[in-house]
């Protein structure tokens, strides 16, 4: 059986701030915004009784989906500080067009880069890890050579 990535889900503390960041800074397109999601189905699915949340579905330029979730009734705890070696999902990666421009604009958004963009040893990509809203680690990748389109060069 083949596996295909359906979407990446990210729990956020502030939906409005997250939407601004993902649409304006990362150029994702808002597909749907569900202001109130609650009821037996969602409570059973996530394993939290009487849960209420907001959900935003965003589309990336290559037609993948990012799902932003804000738990209104049961907000979770932040991992602080966010670190790349935390157990569990480490990060997700987004291909971007101009990583240097994003790095230069970081002050306008709640983005903390762990380093300036770095050229990979093979020269195929420029890469940087960034912490978004002090909540989520994302790897930003600018492809400079088609051989660097996917991790591992294939």
Encode pLDDT of 123-135 as tens digits. Answer: 999 999 999 999 9
| pLDDT tens sequence across 44-54 | 999 999 999 99
Domain boundary residue among 21, 41, 71? 71
- Asked if the structure places residue 83 within a domain, the reply is no
The boundaries of the domain holding residue 23 are 8-71
Which phi and psi angles does 36 have, rounded to 5°? -135, 115
Q: What's residue 5's pLDDT?
A: 77
Q: What's residue 78's pLDDT?
A: 83
pLDDT at 43 over 60: yes
Q: What is the mean pLDDT of residues 53-81?
A: 92
Which tokens in the block code for residue 86? 């935390």
Lowest mean pLDDT among 81-85, 97-101, 147-151: 147-151
SS3 at position 23? helix
First to last CA, the chain: 21
| CATH code: domain of residue 13 | 3.10.180.10
Q: What's residue 89's pLDDT?
A: 73
Residue 101 shares a structural domain with residue 65: no
Q: Which residues of 82-120 are buried (b: 16+ CB within 10 A; e: fewer)?
A: beeeeeeeebeebbbeebeebbeeeeebbbeeeeebeee
- Asked if the structure places residue 96 within a domain, the reply is yes
Q: What's residue 152's pLDDT?
A: 57
Residue 107 shares a structural domain with residue 145: yes
Q: What is the DSSP string of 73-140?
A: SS-----SS--TT-SS---EEEE-S-HHHHHHHGGGTTEEESSS-EE-TTSSEEEEEEEETTTEEEEE
Residue 66 shares a structural domain with residue 99: no
Higher local confidence (pLDDT), 6 or 56: 56
SS3 at position 149? coil
Q: What's residue 79's pLDDT?
A: 81
Domain boundary residue among 71, 101, 126? 71
pLDDT at 1 over 70: no
- Asked if the structure places residue 146 within a domain, the reply is yes
- Asked if the structure places residue 12 within a domain, the reply is yes
- Asked if the structure places residue 149 within a domain, the reply is yes
Residue 5 is given by DSSP the state -
Write down the pTM of the prediction: 0.83
Residue 67 shares a structural domain with residue 96: no
């Amino acid at each position: 059986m083949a596996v295909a990535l359906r979407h990446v889900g990210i729990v956020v503390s502030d939906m409005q701030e997250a939407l601004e960041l993902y649409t304006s800074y990362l150029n994702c397109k808002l597909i749907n915004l569900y202001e109130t999601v609650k009821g037996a189905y969602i409570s059973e699915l996530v394993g939290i009784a009487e849960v209420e949340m907001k959900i935003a579905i965003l589309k990336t330029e290559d037609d993948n989906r990012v799902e932003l979730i804000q738990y209104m009734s049961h907000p979770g705890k932040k991992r602080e500080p966010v670190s790349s070696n935390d157990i569990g999902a480490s990060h997700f990666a987004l291909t971007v067009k101009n990583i240097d421009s994003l790095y230069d604009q970081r002050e306008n958004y709640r983005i903390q880069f762990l380093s300036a963009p770095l050229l990979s040893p093979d020269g195929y990509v420029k890469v940087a890890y960034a912490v978004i809203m002090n909540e989520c680690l994302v790897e930003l990748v600018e492809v400079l050579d088609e051989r660097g389109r996917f991790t591992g060069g294939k």
